[in-house]
């Protein structure tokens, strides 16, 4: 599945990543960057780039789903459902050229990134 591609790309580009905690943060940031690029491509009516950047975001989210530890119970189950919904929104955003749906996904990932940073800072 292409989800491993996202992880491999980040692993190759960020050899110095010191922990899985940092990797999750980088993946969330990647979704935000790629969504911004997809939004720009939609506004520029650049179909090829829109598809490319949307697919990059989907690949990252797929990797996040694949790395969930389902033994953690409700949190993992919630994230699995949330990630699946965000993939659905991204697909729809790409098909419909809908920047509002891209913004919705970005807002969710901004919240996830903020929460992740708060919880991992406390854990240190």
User: How many angstroms separate the CA atoms of 3 and 110, rounded?
Assistant: 21
For domain 3-123, the question of CATH label 1.20.120.340 is answered with yes
Kindly report the pTM of this predicted structure: 0.83
pLDDT of residue 7: 57
66-87 tens-digit pLDDT: 999 999 889 999 999 999 999 9
pLDDT of 25 > 80? The answer is yes
pLDDT over threshold 60, residue 65 = yes
Q: What is the pLDDT of residue 19?
A: 85
Q: Can you give the pLDDT at residue 76?
A: 94
Distance CA 54, CA 97 (A): 11
Average confidence score pLDDT of the chain: 89
φ/ψ region of 90 (left if φ > 0, alpha if ψ in -120 to 50, else beta) reads alpha
- Between CA 79 and CA 22 the distance in angstroms is 18
Q: Kindly compute the dihedral angle of the four CA atoms of residues 43, 28, 60, 8, in this order, to the nearest 10 degrees.
A: 120
**62 pLDDT above the threshold of 70:** yes
How many C-beta atoms surround the C-beta of residue 118 within 10 A?
10
């Amino acid at each position: 599945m292409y989800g491993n591609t996202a992880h491999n790309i980040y692993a190759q580009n960020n050899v110095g990543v010191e922990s899985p905690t940092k990797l999750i943060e980088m993946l969330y940031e990647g979704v935000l960057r790629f969504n911004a690029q997809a939004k720009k491509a939609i506004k520029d009516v650049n179909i090829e780039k829109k598809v490319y950047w949307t697919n990059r975001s989907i690949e990252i989210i797929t990797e996040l789903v694949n790395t969930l530890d389902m033994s953690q119970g409700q949190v993992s189950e919630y994230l699995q459902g949330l990630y699946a919904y965000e993939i659905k929104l991204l697909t729809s955003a790409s098909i419909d050229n809908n920047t509002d749906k891209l913004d919705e996904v970005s807002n969710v990932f901004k919240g996830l990134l903020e929460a992740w940073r708060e919880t991992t800072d406390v854990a240190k």
